[in-house]
Structure 1
């Protein structure tokens, strides 16, 4: 009988701080561990030749060769049995908080919280080998395990996130190279993530960004992205879908939690964006 290939699984836990980091080069054989921490952010990337499918919230996701995606603790994941070679990293905010350290890696609004939409991104050919070498460094570091082990893992994770963020920035091809505009878009997306429950108007966000609503809308149009108002609406509806699918809250409770004064306004927006009423969407979830 052919022996199974060795699976590299590496875990860092600090019981005093609650820090958690996990790396595997074979998600299929280590899925339970990768998904075990409900507060972890995750990165999946397809290192094999075929395709890998799974479900994220209400969407079917497919990762093809050399494609990756980033996931937060907010995402609900259903990952079927699959022999495809997928590498994965999981880490919680105690290990490295991407919100508190946004000034270091600038990934929020591009990769994680506040991204315009759930994205599957592809590694450019020139980045594949350097990225493989970086994952090798993660595995080598677990052979050291000295007093600097945790700090070294954090440093490697930061390098990884910065590399992925650069790839994500380059996906905004219409304004590629316009770093100032990309930064405004990134900050807007992050503000929406943080405030979509209470702020529903573009003007509330443009004020914080010190830019007119008209100029902000024009910037998104030039970048060939969803209009800013649609970005707000889509984030509201995404949260509504999560609560309809994965909670027992009533539609009125969901409406209140999402900042609507009247449940009918919520239902109208939901149907406009999804084509279904909230109650019909919930009843068809299976």
Structure 2
């Protein structure tokens, strides 16, 4: 823990269990620790009045005042120099597994592992004070460090995730009060994350959700979200971009790994969505 210049940084790292948790109220002051665990999920909160810009999976992300971003270990992130102070909470699966405990927080498909793989959420003005108090509880807990310390941090993290999930649900316009429909959308997003390599058709996901393809498409239209097929394609091409940028695999190897029987079908879809062929995309970025 470091309190110099009002900077608070704290890490819980258990070599026996592999459990890792990191908290900082000034992310840019210690990126090394914040990014040191490659298997960690991250919650970033801009608590200041200025903007905080960074890059995630080839996209520019701008966090305005009192805006959160949730990231998984799958995301490739780059933080350029920025003097804006932001709070970051980093945790790995051994500390708290959001997949195994989805029944507790119901955040997957909304906060984490959605079709876009990261969420940006604006905190309503009437929610800012409760969130600030929650951060105060985190900081207070760092001073305790007794035998219940780890459990308390997990409890606080769960509260934070639940509150963010509620905000995320309200961001699904058109059906904010229809919790059953929101749950269907959430499950669809998670199913896409789990199956996009082998399942490319809406009908396959509709079958897993036990609804018709037509009803699934209508639900996304009412919610003013991208069509389900577009979400499936976007997730597939996002993975293709990652593999083109961060591996040495050939286009044919990537096509096969992503479940395409013919690499020409993969290249056609990639160009349709990105405007470039896979080879041209790789050359441009390198």
TM-score bin (small chain)? over 0.9
Q: Secondary structure at the match of 2:12?
A: strand
Measured against aligned partners, the alpha-carbon deviations of 1:115-137 in whole angstroms (never above 9, x if no partner) come to: 45643211100111100100111
Does structure 1 retain, via aligned residues, the 8 Å contact 2:46–2:52? yes
Q: Secondary structure at the match of 1:23?
A: strand
Question: Corresponding residue for 1:55?
Answer: 55
Q: What stretches of structure 1 move > 6 A for 4+ residues in a row?
A: none
Question: Corresponding residue for 2:151?
Answer: 151
1:256 offset after TM fit, Å?
0.7
**Does 2:43 match 1:43?**
yes
Q: Under a length normalisation based on structure 2, what TM-score does the superposition of the two structures give?
A: 0.97
Does structure 2 retain, via aligned residues, the 8 Å contact 1:134–1:156? yes
CA distance in 1: counterparts of 2:250 and 2:260, whole angstroms: 14
CA distance in 2: counterparts of 1:162 and 1:250, whole angstroms: 41
CA distance in 2: counterparts of 1:118 and 1:276, whole angstroms: 24
1:87–1:216 CA distance, 2 compared to 1 (3 A): same
Question: Corresponding residue for 1:231?
Answer: 231
**Does 2:7 match 1:7?**
yes
| Runs of at least 5 residues in structure 1 that lack an aligned partner in the other structure | none
Does structure 2 retain, via aligned residues, the 8 Å contact 1:109–1:116? no
Aligned residues: 283
Question: Corresponding residue for 1:21?
Answer: 21
Q: Secondary structure at the match of 1:110?
A: coil
CA distance in 2: counterparts of 1:113 and 1:119, whole angstroms: 9
**Does 2:186 match 1:186?**
yes
Question: Corresponding residue for 2:121?
Answer: 121
Measured against aligned partners, the alpha-carbon deviations of 1:40-65 in whole angstroms (never above 9, x if no partner) come to: 00011101111111111111111111
RMSD over aligned CA atoms reads 1.0
Question: Corresponding residue for 2:139?
Answer: 139
Question: Corresponding residue for 1:167?
Answer: 167
1:6 offset after TM fit, Å?
2.2
| Runs of at least 5 residues in structure 2 that lack an aligned partner in the other structure | none
CA distance in 2: counterparts of 1:62 and 1:113, whole angstroms: 20
Question: Corresponding residue for 1:110?
Answer: 110
1:245 offset after TM fit, Å?
1.1
Does structure 1 retain, via aligned residues, the 8 Å contact 2:13–2:21? yes
CA distance in 1: counterparts of 2:273 and 2:94, whole angstroms: 36
